[in-house]
Structure 1
């Protein structure tokens, strides 16, 4: 086995120490490298920048020269039958992607922590996770999806194994004095781990998440793992997740968990959002971790791996993350319609989808989506959000054309059987061909139009088949996706913002909006409108007291320079999307289809 050992070297300095040992052939060259990115997060991260103090010795403790050939690669020539490499990793990124260590907790993804020996990448790996030597860390435990070995018990420091390097880096590890809860679904033990202080009702959470897990397992027909780990970093504010084959790393706000002082039927919006995140990452265990585009078989983690299919792997997953909340009874149908209406509004309010197709969005994820500039809302479309709209179209289309015999569930099971189990990568033609087969007719033309054109998708007819009316509404207030069916004047300036200690920082300016015509730009700090100081409350009150087409003076800081302009307050465009149930009988045909039905 390739031997790895990791231990908290200095929590206050945020340093892990890693020891890599492997048997070698004298005079043979070996290549040590670290990935440039990790699956599920499509951006070059350059993890090797956090490696410090790297050195190597042989079995006699004699130094071996390391030659760095690029930003993430070292060459080494073995001098005898053993190589031992020692290095430190600076761990100060409390995201879901890299590594973190302080006196309260530790965490690492293997992709940012463990050097690969390229010539031995398919050999089994053994990882020894050692505890901190500090007495205040005596209660620390370990949470990971890695296989426990040599008598190591669950949650214990000790030895863990992986089939190969890819398996090793696919199992993130959390250490600390964390809270944990377990539940079982279809014989699979699931773990809920929280790495910092919280006040949530973990039993209620386990009950709700178990419903979502049951939904996904039933949909695909089986669980492709023996256990599963939900590892959550709780912060003052946070949101995000990253999928792995038998685990996920999540980030959430400290008060997003269910409040034990509230009735279990009163799930807050923040809690429902967290459940949707859990659902999303768990669904990924099938859709992208195993069913994946052909460009990812195998992964090339040295450089970008381009694919036009992220609309399917993130979009379809985004469709099911909320749909499963409805199917399991966590939310009702009206609440579900409100969620998908909000997603549709997010896409419809800007002109990005009129400039970029969903396949182009997938292909350009590395730069345009993961490194969004201030112009993003006007020039790109999210393959998550519009991908979910395409998934909805696909689900309703398959249901209608098959007379309710099949649905998107069927398509996903077919993909699982033919591509997930077999580890054969998909092409977009596979989605189109299976969908056409289930529809009983060739739908490739309209399907490709949705994928490759820069046009909006009108679901009016598809929704009407299931008793739901698509409506276009005004925005109810500034800086919100909330819509209203009222036809009276609703003030609009076309900018989003967030509160600052003094003023409002502009975060988005929609193309051709009053804010754009006034010359406002992202990162400007608006301080006054109509010579009145603005806050989140006062700006709404100011515009609500104006007649349509009022011209108001605005003052704002750009960097440290005070500027002024004139902004015209207009009536809200009909850019908000809402869904209304108009036929309860038809809606039943949508609601009644369950994953294994």
Structure 2
């Protein structure tokens, strides 16, 4: 059969126990013409070279009459084929054993794939329409399909069958989950939203739908319109996990099984559930901010190599500002709880020296190597364009509100970006943010704005927050292994390390430069086993610190790899590096809380 105007793909779970998908693809060809086939090296929203092609196995090609075609590989992700007649058919397998939000996974319980790691592109035919046939595994009558890809005529929602995409980019922008799915829906502004979980859970369906719907309503109101006809939240639930990846009309999330709301405790709002809702909020906001409003460097995407941009502070930082703030504005959490979340964000920025060494534009540009491949020195030498970017977004919001006498806000700026850049598909440059902000402020704020973006200085938030009845102050860390604050003049022990308790001791994950832990020679991945000749747990180390005198040197034993090392360590009084943000004037604080756009 000849396929004149579209590329046809077919994917089948070939061997669920060996984690293999089988892929077949067919396209119309011109005899004698050479075609280039390749797989992306990365996917939008995850700025790291992934080398998806490493998982392709046994690629072969034939012509319409069954004649074998030679495939020549020219680099790690590119093949060349010369057609002999009017059709080329390829087949290959994909090893799928990465249960993240980025790649592909298959076992006896569920399957998942991003097209960017699964479907070869025909370089000469990238703009052609694509048809994808999704086949079930054998003996899986109760398996379903969840994807934001358009269903072909005759294919029902959640069913195996034929799906269509306008071009290759749309094909790889619609991740697919298959398995025994838990699915339910809600509607906002006439748009059906699907909540899909790829494994069993104990969460309260109605509460999940109600809370996520409130967040979706908030974002739609902020931007003023819905740029999709349906939306899919696809969530992998694991024993432990966290993450998300945005797409134009869907997102793939990863969460812990018990992060969802407990149906037996309808009034409880756990920290884990707040974190899950914030993740939903973040990825949904991306449907506008980065999926459609995007840097000039991403128009169009070049998925064959790194695409550097200095603007990720805006796309991840502004989104991070709104993800928690929207929980408050949607009525899910009170303002005081939002400020607690904001305090922890600020503390993550302030606790190390990275923000004083790297600007957010540098952090954005170096995302490919320094942020996505963080070393043990990260807290000391780099800054997150997520967290510091969100503080810059807060600065921008409060600055616009103050200088416009409350007429405009960051909401207005985002709406303008949507109208002038997102809707028409024009990429942004840094000056576009500055120019819109200047118009809204009624004056030129370019100099301080650029200074925040290009210099590794701290964001001066205290004066702005004071004007809206909110204080911003440094306090002590409440405990050794916490980002929580305590307003106390009494001695509070401090080590400058964070760790996770395990069977053999405390495995260190963060060591702050110049801290007692650093001076003792401790490093990331060391396992602390004893201090002052006492076996340590998280609880016992805290108790020991509270009973020793400040500056008192004691023995410290730890394993580095399989070597037992010993040094001396001295607890000190906690520095004022934990940020506490709280309301001082409720009436003035109300001026910051409203939606203006």
Give the TM-score normalised by structure 2. 0.99
Tell me the alpha carbon deviations over residues 429-463 of structure 1, each in whole angstroms, 9 at most, x when there is no partner.
Answer: 00001001100000000000000011111211100
- Maintained 8 Å contact 1:215/1:595: no
Aligned to 2:109: 104
Aligned to 2:426: 424
- Maintained 8 Å contact 2:242/2:256: yes
Aligned to 2:307: 305
Aligned to 1:333: 335
Find the residue that maps to 1:272 and give its secondary structure: helix
Q: Does residue 215 of structure 2 align to residue 205 of structure 1? A: no
> Which consecutive residues of structure 2, in runs of 5 or more, have no partner in the other structure?
1-5
Aligned to 1:388: 390
Counterpart pick for 2:143 among 121, 134, 140 = 140
- Maintained 8 Å contact 1:291/1:419: yes
Tell me the alpha carbon deviations over residues 296-332 of structure 1, each in whole angstroms, 9 at most, x when there is no partner.
Answer: 0000000000000000000000000011100011000
Give the Å deviation of 1:595.
4.9
CA separation in 1, counterparts of 2:554 and 2:573?
Answer: 15
Q: How many residues align?
A: 592
Aligned to 1:174: 177
Tell me the alpha carbon deviations over residues 64-100 of structure 1, each in whole angstroms, 9 at most, x when there is no partner.
Answer: 0000000000000001111000000000000000000
Aligned to 2:31: 26
Aligned to 1:349: 351
Query: Which moves more between the two structures, 490-499 or 108-117?
Result: 490-499
CA separation in 2, counterparts of 1:363 and 1:185?
Answer: 36
Give the Å deviation of 1:536.
1.1
Q: Does residue 62 of structure 2 align to residue 57 of structure 1? A: yes
- Maintained 8 Å contact 2:184/2:194: yes
Give the Å deviation of 1:466.
0.3
Aligned to 1:43: 48
Aligned to 2:363: 361
Matches within 5 A, 1:178-189: 178-189=181-192
CA separation in 2, counterparts of 1:521 and 1:578?
Answer: 28
Structure 1 runs (4+) deviating above 4 angstroms are none
Q: Does residue 76 of structure 2 align to residue 71 of structure 1? A: yes
Counterpart pick for 1:113 among 112, 118, 121 = 118
Aligned to 2:492: 490
Give the TM-score normalised by structure 1. 0.99
Give the Å deviation of 1:489.
0.3
Query: Which moves more between the two structures, 211-220 or 578-587?
Result: 578-587
- Maintained 8 Å contact 2:408/2:596: no
Tell me the alpha carbon deviations over residues 238-260 of structure 1, each in whole angstroms, 9 at most, x when there is no partner.
Answer: 10000000000000000001100
Give the Å deviation of 1:580.
2.1
> Which consecutive residues of structure 1, in runs of 5 or more, have no partner in the other structure?
none
Counterpart pick for 1:13 among 7, 13, 18 = 18
Counterpart pick for 2:317 among 307, 311, 315 = 315
Find the residue that maps to 1:13 and give its secondary structure: coil
CA separation in 2, counterparts of 1:580 and 1:252?
Answer: 29
CA separation in 2, counterparts of 1:495 and 1:270?
Answer: 23
- Maintained 8 Å contact 1:218/1:595: no
- Maintained 8 Å contact 1:14/1:100: yes
Q: Does residue 239 of structure 2 align to residue 215 of structure 1? A: no
Find the residue that maps to 1:22 and give its secondary structure: strand
Aligned to 1:227: 230
Aligned to 1:150: 153
Counterpart pick for 1:375 among 361, 374, 377 = 377
Counterpart pick for 1:294 among 283, 293, 296 = 296
Q: Does residue 9 of structure 2 align to residue 4 of structure 1? A: yes
